[in-house]
Amino acid sequence: MRQVGPSEAMGHKYPEWVILVVARDGQGKPNLMPAGWGMICSGDPRLVCVAIAPGRYTHRCIEETGEFVFAWAGEGQAELVKHSGSCSGAKVSKFEEFEIPTAEPVAIGVPLLAEAAVNLECTVWAAYPAGDHTIFVGEVVAGHLPEEPVATLLNFSGKFAPGAPAVEPE
């Protein structure tokens, strides 16, 4: 074992899944961003959380409307992850610019991502400041799977590859 700096150690965590966080701003414009720092954090109530830096447009959207879609990116969304993660909804209408296919939500007013592996509709349950990010905790109020299973997308430190093929849990 050799001791290294915390950043160097944490840089060896890969692979990491990619969550696409979708939210509308107060004027109704939809936006999305990729996030690696998110997970399921409670079973009852059913909660997910994601850490979003205050400078992100998505942060503003979630603060303004109190709801978001937490979608595990699908294997075909690597280019969308790269593009939507390198520009801000403050300057770009990402859904128009990247022609992102959507599907209708049932419980909140935020579009689902038609090509994601999993879509969860969430309402904000809590928001905790955590250093240079805010942890948004969302209560999952509806869930959606594609008609045909789609594998999740894994991030290998900037290179993307499909995860295991999606199978029904036993």
Q: In the complex, which residues of this chain contact ligand FMN (CB under 6 A)?
A: 18, 31, 33-37, 51-53, 56-58, 81, 85-90, 133, 155
Q: How far is the CB of 169 from ligand FMN (least distance, A)?
A: 25
- SS3 string of 78-120? HHHHHHHCCCCCCCCCHHHHCCCCEECCCCCCCCEECCCCEEE
Closest among 125, 132, 138 to 71, alpha carbons compared: 138
**Closest approach of Cβ 157 to ligand FMN, in Å?**
10
Nearer to ligand FMN by Cβ, of 46 and 83: the residue is: 83
Give the residue with the Cβ less far from ligand FMN, 81 or 122.
81
* 58 and 51 Cβ atoms separated by less than 8 Å: no
For residues 33 and 140, which CB has a smaller minimum distance to ligand FMN in the complex? Answer: 33
Closest distance of CB 28 from ligand FMN, Å: 15
- What sign for the dihedral angle of Cα 27, 31, 24, 37? negative
CB of 86 to ligand FMN, least distance (A): 6
**Nearer Cβ to ligand FMN (39/106):** 39
Interior angle at CA 15, CA 40 and CA 55, nearest 5? 65
Pick 51 or 170: Cβ nearer ligand FMN: 51
Minimum distance, C-beta of residue 133 to ligand FMN, in the bound complex (Å) = 6
Q: Which residue is nearest to ligand FMN (CB)?
A: 85
φ, ψ dihedrals at 52, nearest 5°: -130, 130
Instruction: Return the sign of the alpha-carbon dihedral for residues 61, 128, 40, 10.
Output: positive
